Amino acid sequence: MALPLMPKATAVWLVENTALSFEQIADFCGLHPLEVQAIADGEVATGIVGLDPIANGQISKGELERCEADADLRLKLNITDYPQPRQKLKGARYTPVSKRQDRPDAIAWLLKHHPELSDAQLSKLIGTTKPTIQSVREKTHWNATNIKPRNPVTLGLCTELDLEKAVALARPRAGTVAPQYVDDSADDSDE
């Protein structure tokens, strides 16, 4: 069920400015009726300024009056055509301290198995810098003797989906095609 923006502030306004029951307010705001009663008693949300749901278009004045007249009715949130905010998917990637020493291993694996990936793609995929990628490529990394190529997905530095997307983008740019796996068992059955 869709909830109003800032449900507690909306509940504060409804408690102070309407004759709705605690159950109606609780149902509309997604709160427990006892919490709404505590708001009315001044025990909860003492510093919260009420938010008028009519002024911001979440409900209509007619809807409010209809529900005030009958305690069995429930307020319905207006459906707007405003775009809903999307969850942020991209951003700075934090790598825990315990996994930071695994980055050079992941870089070495990616350079070995997916040389078509650009330094920018590697940097974004693993969350490292271009100088680190270059030093692993040239074997001038300070810990080059201990670097063992390991899959970044199994190390937890990226997801399989992110890796597949990066490779799918890099192949056309590099002019390579995906390897075709041939089923050799079909050829053996003729003999």
What residue ranges do the domains of the chain occupy?
Answer: 7-69, 97-174
- The per-residue pLDDT for 189 is 47
Low-confidence ranges of the chain (pLDDT < 50): 188-191
- The per-residue pLDDT for 84 is 65
**Residue 167 to residue 159: CA distance in whole angstroms:** 12
Q: Are 35 and 63 in contact (CB under 8 A)?
A: no
**Residue 157 to residue 96: CA distance in whole angstroms:** 10
* pLDDT per residue as tens digits for the range 70-115: 888 888 888 777 676 676 655 556 778 888 899 999 999 999 999 9
- The per-residue pLDDT for 182 is 53
State if pTM tops 0.85.
no
Alpha-carbon distances, residue 69 vs 30, 62, 81, 83, 173 (angstroms) = 21, 11, 29, 33, 66
Alpha-carbon distances, residue 139 vs 132, 150, 152 (angstroms) = 10, 16, 19
Alpha-carbon distances, residue 131 vs 26, 50, 115, 127 (angstroms) = 56, 53, 17, 12
- Report how far Cα 89 is from the mean position of its chain's Cα atoms: 5
- The per-residue pLDDT for 85 is 66
- The per-residue pLDDT for 87 is 65
- The per-residue pLDDT for 99 is 84
Q: Which residues of 51-71 are buried (b: 16+ CB within 10 A; e: fewer)?
A: bebbeeebbeeebbeebeeee
**Residue 41 to residue 49: CA distance in whole angstroms:** 15
